[in-house]
Amino acid sequence: MAMEIFGGAMSGTSLDGVDMVLAGFEGADASLSQANIKVLAHVYTPYPVALREQIMAICLGQPLTLPQLGAVDLAVARQYVEVIRAALATAGLASSSVIAVGVHGQTVYHQPLGPDRFTLQIGDPNTIAVGARVPVVADFRRRDMALGGQGAPLAPAFHEHWFRHDSRTRVVLNGGGIANITAMAPGQATYGFDTGPANVLMDGWCAEKIGRPYDDRGRWARSGRVLDSLLRVMVLEPYLQLPHPKSTGRELFNMPWLQACLARSGCSQAVDADIMHTLLAFTVRTVADAVAAVDPAGGELFVCGGAALNEFLMQCLADALPLWSVRSTAASGIAPDQVEAIAFASFARRTVRGLSGNLPSVTGASRACVLGAVYAV
């Protein structure tokens, strides 16, 4: 079978920018592996500061007019056009050689429960398709939600193909802004859910206190200590007690949520580095609790996203999970900053082929379905 070229473009809860992968696929989707997916280009383009601040304001519910929303929608789309063009140039490919690009878009609101279940990703796919001169597959989440699902997380459907092992329990941790796990035990159905924050609170605290977008390798957190009273308050968050399927985002875990926890715990005047260490400990605690419950005998934990680059976080995860091997997804042949983009390239391929892309055992949808819609050039 000739190689089919698809792209995947992803911007997550961290709001840092867009990752774009062009990949060549060979063989059937049911056997995705290092052997039949070849990464042809990986490009990352950060959001301009002003755009990131505009997106953040929308995520936090600040009032805006429809023209303002439209302007941000188009600005995000143009950011996607830029990164797709850069990936094509890096790979030395013409746009006509790409069958389609799976575009996640930028989530600005996600409400998976209640009578008005709703999710919104901005970044107009029509503008992206015309600007980049490639067909686009977008709006991946809402059909799953129409079928009663959470619309998230979607990546487990890709993780199952790449990481599942016949005789070993494996878990994939996608640690972007929000942390989600994919649990794969031999002989059992794959399941997954958002465990809580990964980097979203730590990044917000860094930006507010030291003017940096993130804590490089976890060095600042390492310099502090855990505030037990703050950690005790944070782990009482009701979301953490909900059964899966479940998903969350900045609508819950944000700086106002943190400030409320600081006030309730009496830690509002605590040392900034101690708060940072406690935020990292909160991520580790919520992830480790979810992972340990997958298999009491332990297994293999593969980490992707920004969490894989935080050396202190990885060390703390390994300490919290002594029965588990904790490694970056690079150990399984896929770079941690490419996993989600490759996943959306694979979803685009499945949509174009008319194949389902969701996992009802993960999202809670009533059935498997084709995800998204195709936007022609």
Q: 3-state SS string over the chain?
A: CCCEEEEEEEECCCCCEEEEEEEEECCCHHHCCCCCEEEEEEEEEECCHHHHHHHHHHHCCCCCCHHHHHHHHHHHHHHHHHHHHHHHHHHCCCHHHCCEEEEEEEEEEEECCCCCCEEEEECCHHHHHHHHCCCEEECCCHHHHHCCCCCCCCCHHHHHHHHCCCCCCEEEEEECCEEEEEEECCCCCCEEEEEEECCHHHHHHHHHHHCCCCCHHHHHHHCCCCCHHHHHHHCCCHHHHCCCCCCCCCCCCCHHHHHHHHHHHCCCCCCHHHHHHHHHHHHHHHHHHHHHCCCCCCEEEEEECHHHHCHHHHHHHHHHCCCEEEEEHHHHCCCCCCHHHHHHHHHHHHHHCCCCCCCHHHHCCCCCCCCCEEECC
Q: Can you tell me the distance from the alpha carbon of 75 to that of 93, in angstroms, rounded to the nearest whole number?
A: 25
**Nearest of 118, 106, 122 to residue 16 by alpha carbon:** 106
Is the pLDDT score of 55 beyond 90? yes
What are the b/e assignments for 254-284, b being 16+ CB within 10 Å? bbebbeebbeebebeebeebbbbbbbbbbbb
pLDDT at 31: 62
- Residue 2's pLDDT band, with cuts at 50, 70 and 90, is confident
Q: Tell me what pLDDT residue 36 has.
A: 87
Listed by start position, the domains of the chain span 4-151+338-375, 156-332
pLDDT at 57 over 80: yes
Place of tokens 């950690």: 231
Which pLDDT value is given to residue 180?
Answer: 96
Q: What is the CATH number of domain 4-151+338-375?
A: 3.30.420.40
Q: What pLDDT score was predicted for residue 289? A: 98
Fold match, 4-151+338-375 / 156-332: yes
Rounded CA gap, 313 and 198, in Å?
10
Task: Report the 10 Å Cβ neighbour count for 9.
Answer: 32
| Per-residue pLDDT, 104 | 97
3 pLDDT above the threshold of 60: yes
The pLDDT of residue 147: 97
* Residue range 265-306, pLDDT digits in tens: 999 999 999 999 999 999 999 999 999 999 999 999 999 999
**CATH architecture of the domain covering 156-332:** 2-Layer Sandwich (3.30)
Contact between 168 and 186 (Cβ < 8 Å): yes
Q: What share of the chain has pLDDT > 90, as a percent?
A: 93
pLDDT at 80: 98
pLDDT at position 322, please?
Answer: 98
Dist CA 332 CA 370 (whole Å): 28
Q: Which two tokens stand for residue 289?
A: 């609790």
Query: pLDDT band at residue 186, thresholds of 50, 70 and 90?
Result: very high
What is this structure's pTM? 0.94
**In whole numbers, what is the pLDDT of the chain averaged over residues?**
95
Give residue 44's pLDDT: 96
Region 117-139: what's the mean pLDDT?
97
pLDDT of residue 33: 67
pLDDT band with cut points at 50, 70 and 90 for residue 114? confident
Integer Cα distance of 283 and 287 in angstroms: 6
What pLDDT is stored for residue 27 in this prediction? 76
pLDDT computed for residue 30 by the predictor: 56
Give pLDDT tens digits for 223-248.
999 999 999 999 999 999 999 999 99
